[in-house]
Structure 1
């Protein structure tokens, strides 16, 4: 058995401290990844705080892993030792349910999450089922690619799932860790992209990311002036907004798609939705096939997250920086 050197929290809201654990014999379809870097996601904070009531301590967070395959199970044929790969939110799937067999592994009710009930990537090694691991295209910058494995696939998945056209008008609500990637992907997809932000200072940044125009949601009448413009609105915020105002911005058959983890109930007026045949939806990450497609698309169109970097032994400083709301825009831990 090999020893993994990691950083773990022993209680909710606790600091991350050096932690060791043993890896048993590798399964026939599993791979071990020597971690080179790992992004920090808001989901890591939620798990650290046990905000969802599913955390098991000690917790080793980290589900935006970039590294090299160091060991493979005897039934793994699509990877070789030394391959550079990525691992995201899921570390395994049941592979037998209708969702898995239909190619929707991310909807598998028995999927194994990388940091739920197991140890993640704030470590020197992480283990996962080989199906959940994606080879990194050579054209991607491995040093900053980690956030694509969660944040990137979260915003890319709706473009694929809903058949978004390059001629569609897409609005992105919130210009943060998810939002800046949503702008980049939607622009590269060919869409006309509008960024919604409540911070005037972020308007120019949104344009630099690829938005064609911006709407400052704090300006009186700014949202109303955009009525009926959008085929798709991607909400990346985790706070309650006047959702009916945003729904009024949709074209007939338009969609408001929720990517931020809003915990408050949505107060929606049904009648305008009914007569416009409008939809409100949400989705989690993406299937292994969609993750591979996203990585290839990002490599081809030079889509990359804006990142700040900390050495892994400064993980608590990095967590505090993320909590402060000052991160621009994704944080990556380097080993």
Structure 2
């Protein structure tokens, strides 16, 4: 499924099977989870995609062959490919363990063709071996919803009372990790989203309400997964002095002005950008121990436009996943 121009629907096309270069893997894709970032790319809110582009950055598949110099994987190995596709490896950010901030970073399904296809190539250094116990369809959402969610959760420190704004793919994974860590989770959804609220309760939220409500207890921290800038003042109002609000999305609508007293009291407002390979290694080690269980809504590859429309309309429960290889079902 190919994006020719921002603002246009994806088109089903026959393309040559890509050839892996040095250090790259050729992967036969089994499944690729959809992500709100894909919507931001299609809608032109992320402005520098490679065009034409094969989107998709939560790829699960098996190695077919590889280019020269590959030592980490062999044909037949199952691998996961995340958003972070490459970095320069030598800038100050890369050297300081912040490769997610590298100015030369390239991202899967944005600068590099991704997983809305039968085959993909990826740099072996940025691929992950996937834990046993997760089928291909269940593993795919771990590669962005899980990884970005985990990085966001880490940014909340030891917060015991945690608010989550926007109960989608990332939230339904991270609430499981947070509960496993012994935290209380307060879930905020769009007003009237009773199905999402019930889903949050089933996963262990101690309180569920609309995003414009205040929780019954003051929060230690909050994570905003929804790309809605108006949630920033709402979350700041809900956290205690010294609390943290983490904006987890790669794109957010403009944040409205708000009175300084919402930030005062040493509250912290911060963003999360991309992920590091360390995030992936840590999260994929933790996920089987929780154990994380991903709820997936399946679509055939050729229904990618329908899947993205359902995501935009709030009609996906858990994570939407494109089934590329029917043998994965």
What SS does the corresponding residue of 2:292 show, helix, strand or coil?
coil
TM-score (norm 1): 0.88
Return the offset for 1:65.
0.1
* 1:58-137 correspondence to structure 2 within 5 Å: 58-137=52-131
Deviations 1:263-297 (A, max 9, x none): 213423334423x1110001023211111211121
2:40 to 41, 46, 70: 46
What SS does the corresponding residue of 1:47 show, helix, strand or coil?
helix
* Residue 276 of structure 2: aligned partner: 287
* Residue 254 of structure 2: aligned partner: 264
2:315 equivalent to 1:322:
no
What SS does the corresponding residue of 2:5 show, helix, strand or coil?
coil
Q: 1:203 to 1:116 in 2, by over 3 A?
A: closer
Deviations 1:34-53 (A, max 9, x none): 11100111111221222222
Return the offset for 1:200.
5.3
Contact 2:133–2:288 under 8 Å retained in 1: yes
Task: Report which structure shows greater RCO (CA 8 Å, sep ≥6).
Answer: 2
Q: Which runs of 5 or more structure 2 residues have no equivalent in the other structure?
A: 325-329
**CA–CA distance in structure 1, aligned partners of residues 271 and 37 of structure 2:** 16
TM-score (norm 2): 0.89
Q: 1:244 to 1:45 in 2, by over 3 A?
A: closer
Contact 2:153–2:223 under 8 Å retained in 1: no
Deviations 1:18-47 (A, max 9, x none): 1314534521x2222211100111111221
RMSD: 2.1
**CA–CA distance in structure 1, aligned partners of residues 305 and 235 of structure 2:** 37
Contact 1:48–1:55 under 8 Å retained in 2: no
- 95-104 or 288-297, which deviates more: 95-104
Q: 1:184 to 1:56 in 2, by over 3 A?
A: same
**CA–CA distance in structure 2, aligned partners of residues 266 and 84 of structure 1:** 45
Q: 1:200 to 1:62 in 2, by over 3 A?
A: closer
Count how many residue pairs are aligned between Structure 1 and Structure 2.
320
What SS does the corresponding residue of 1:289 show, helix, strand or coil?
helix
Task: Considering fraction of residues, name the structure with more strand.
Answer: 1
What SS does the corresponding residue of 2:289 show, helix, strand or coil?
helix
